[in-house]
């Protein structure tokens, strides 16, 4: 069974799994989003005493906290117990594009040149992590949710603000990939 789970699965399996989850959430009147868990955790920590934004019944979001916990545990299981020995397969064009940015492809999902401890604890790495984290935090708060909440849940509910947010996410990703990433690396 472990060997079956370790093998690469077809792309459409994820789409079907997300569809089943979304139909289930819609049936129960729930709305999915990962960043909303940060608000819930701040509320649990007592932030609602000082800020009205955090003053809500966090117990109604227990299911979303469990979903987040399951996501973290699933990722941990996938990266340890179910880790594939097969190197990640990337196109030659992607490998050469990474090479042009001085990022060597080492066969892992997260190249050590940008996800390793050497980079993370360098001055450049710390600046990239802090700036990126601040921008993601600001962006998800400003947009009223993160990419998963808007692209999966918001679009499933046919919400126009989510469509606009997703268009903005993709436009920002294109700008980052084609203009800013070459400047950073």
d(CA 136, CA 158): 24
Amino acid 171: pLDDT: 95
pLDDT in tens, 18-71: 889 888 988 988 877 788 888 899 999 999 999 998 999 999 999 889 989 999
Q: Where do the structural domains in the chain lie, given as residue ranges?
A: 1-83
Q: 184: closest CA among 131, 139, 134, 116?
A: 131
- Does the global pTM surpass 0.95? no
Q: Are 107 and 88 in contact (CB under 8 A)?
A: yes
Amino acid 107: pLDDT: 85
Average pLDDT for the chain: 88
Burial environment of residue 61 by CB neighbours within 10 A (0 to 12, 13 to 18, 19 or more): buried
DSSP labels for 28-57?
A: TT----STHHHHHHHHHTTGGGT-GGG-S-
């Amino acid at each position: 069974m472990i060997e079956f789970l370790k093998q690469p699965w077809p792309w459409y399996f994820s789409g079907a799994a997300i569809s089943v989850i979304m139909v289930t959430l819609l049936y129960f009147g729930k709305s999915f989003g990962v960043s909303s868990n940060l608000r819930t955790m701040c509320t649990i920590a007592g932030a609602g005493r000082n800020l009205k934004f955090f003053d809500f019944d966090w117990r109604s979001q227990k299911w979303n906290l469990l979903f987040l916990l399951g996501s973290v545990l699933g990722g941990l299981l996938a990266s340890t117990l179910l880790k594939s020995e097969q190197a990640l397969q990337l196109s030659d064009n992607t490998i050469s594009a990474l090479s042009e940015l001085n990022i060597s492809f080492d066969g892992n999902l997260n190249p050590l040149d940008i996800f390793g401890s050497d980079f993370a604890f360098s001055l450049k790495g710390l600046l990239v992590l802090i700036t990126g984290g601040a921008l993601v935090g600001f962006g998800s708060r400003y947009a009223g949710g993160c990419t998963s909440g808007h692209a999966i849940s918001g679009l499933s509910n046919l919400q126009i603000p989510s469509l606009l947010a997703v268009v903005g996410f993709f436009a920002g990703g294109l700008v980052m990939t084609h203009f800013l990433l070459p400047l950073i690396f």
